Amino acid sequence: MKNLLQLTFLLLSIGLMTSCAVKQEQEADDTIDFITQQYGLMIEQLEASPTILNPKSIIDEKMKYIPPKEWTSGFFPGSLWYIYELTGDEAWIPYAVKYTEALDTIQYYTGNHDVGFMIYCSYGNGFRLTGKPYEEVIVNAAKSLSTRYIPEAGIIQSWNANPSKDWECPVIIDNMMNLELLFNATKLSGDSSFYHIAVTHADNTIKNHYRPDYGTWHVLDYNKADGTIRHRNTHQGYSDESTWARGHSWGVYGFVMCYRETGNQKYLEQAEKALDFIANHPNYPEDGVPYWDYDSPDIPNTYRDASAGAILASALYELSTYSTKRDYKAWADTIMQTLSGPRYLAPLGENGHFILMHSVGSLPHNSEVDVPLNYADYYFLEALKRKRDLES
C-alpha cells in the first residue's frame, strides 16, 4: 500500500509539472504571436514611408523617429533580428537587413561611446544569425569606439567634455554595454588591442564606479592626465548618492558579458554583488520590475522602469548558466512574467506598436517618462530568446 501511495504521488507530481510546463510554453507562444502581430503593424506603418524611419518611442501621442547617430538607433533593427530568431520566419530577414544597413555610416562615428549599442545590436545580431559579411563594419566600429579610449585614465570616454557640468572626461556605467563590440572585434580581426581596452575599462569600472554597498554612480568624471576622479554624479537618477535603476542593470549585464568573454572570476563576482544590492534593497518590488531609481523618496508612488527590468532579466538568464549563488533563472522568470502581463504588455495595435509600456528615459530631465522605448523591447526580446534556449 505504501509503495502504491508513493507511486500515485509521483505520477500526480509528474502530471502537475508537465501541465505547468505546457501552460508556460503556451504563454510564451502567445507572447511571441502577439509580438509578431504588433511589430507587423509597426513594419506596415514604416514601409508606407518613402524614407527609412527608425522608431524610438511615443512622445505626446506622436511617434519619435531618430537619425542614425542617435544612441538608440541599433535597437529597432536588433529587435527585428530577434523576432526572426524567435519565430524562424525568414520574412523578417529583409526588414532586419534594411533597417540594419541604414546604419552603415555609424561604423565611422566617433562622437560618443554608444557606437557599441548602435552597431552590435544591429550588425552584430545580423552577422550572428545569417553570417552576412558584416565583419568589416563591426571592426571599423570598434576602431571608432577605440578613439575614445584615454590610456592615462584607462577608460573609454562616454560623453564629450561639458563645461557647464565641469566635466572633463565623463564616463557612464552604461559604457559597460559597449565593450561587447570590442571583444568581438578582437575575435573577428585578431587585433588584441580591442580586448585590452575592454578589460582595462571594466577593471577601472570595478575600482571606481561602485559604492561599498555595490550601488552605482551613473557618471564619473575622470582627470584625463592621471585617471583620478574629479566628480561622482547620478545624472539620470534621483541624486548623486542614489542608484539609478537602468544604469545598475547596465552594469550587471556588462559584467556578466565580460565574464563570458574573458572567463575572469572577478567579473562574475562583480555581477553577483551588484545583484545582491538589488535583491537586498528594501525598495525592490516583489514582481521584479524596478522603480526608476532605487532611492527615489516617493516610492511606491512613482514610476517603474520596464526597460531596467528587461535588461536585468536578460542578464539574469545568462548569469544562471554561470552561477548558482542564487536562483537567477527563477528571478528572471518573475520579471518576465510581470512584463508579459497586462500592466506592461501593450494591447495589440496600441502603444505605437511597441511591445512594452511604462519605461523611463530620464525623469530628472522630464524626458521620455512613462513611455515605450525601443531598447525595452530589444532586451525583452533578448530575454525571451534566452529563456527559451534555457528551457529547450
Active site residues: 114, 174
How many C-beta atoms surround the C-beta of residue 4 within 10 A?
8
Q: What is the 3-state secondary structure (H, E, C) of 355-386?
A: CECCEEEEHHHCEEEEECEHHHHHHHHHHHHH
Kindly give the pairing relationship between strand 219-222 and strand 367-371.
unpaired
| 8 Å CB contact between 139 and 188 | yes
Give φ, ψ of 167 to 5 degrees: -100, 125
The beta-carbon contacts of 24-28 under 8 Å, at least 24 apart in sequence, are 24/391, 27/340, 28/384, 28/387, 28/388
Buried b (16+ CB within 10 A) or exposed e, 28-52: beebbebbbebbeebbeebeeeeee
Residue type for 128, please?
R
CA distance 389 to 392: 5
| 8 Å CB contact between 290 and 312 | yes
Cell numbers placing 198: 575592454
Helix or strand run (H / E) with residue 215: none
Residue among 175, 156, 78 at smallest CA distance from 118: 78
* Residue 193 CA neighbour count, 13 Å, CB half: 10
The beta-carbon contacts of 192-196 under 8 Å, at least 24 apart in sequence, are 193/146, 194/142, 194/146
What SS3 state is found at 346?
A: coil
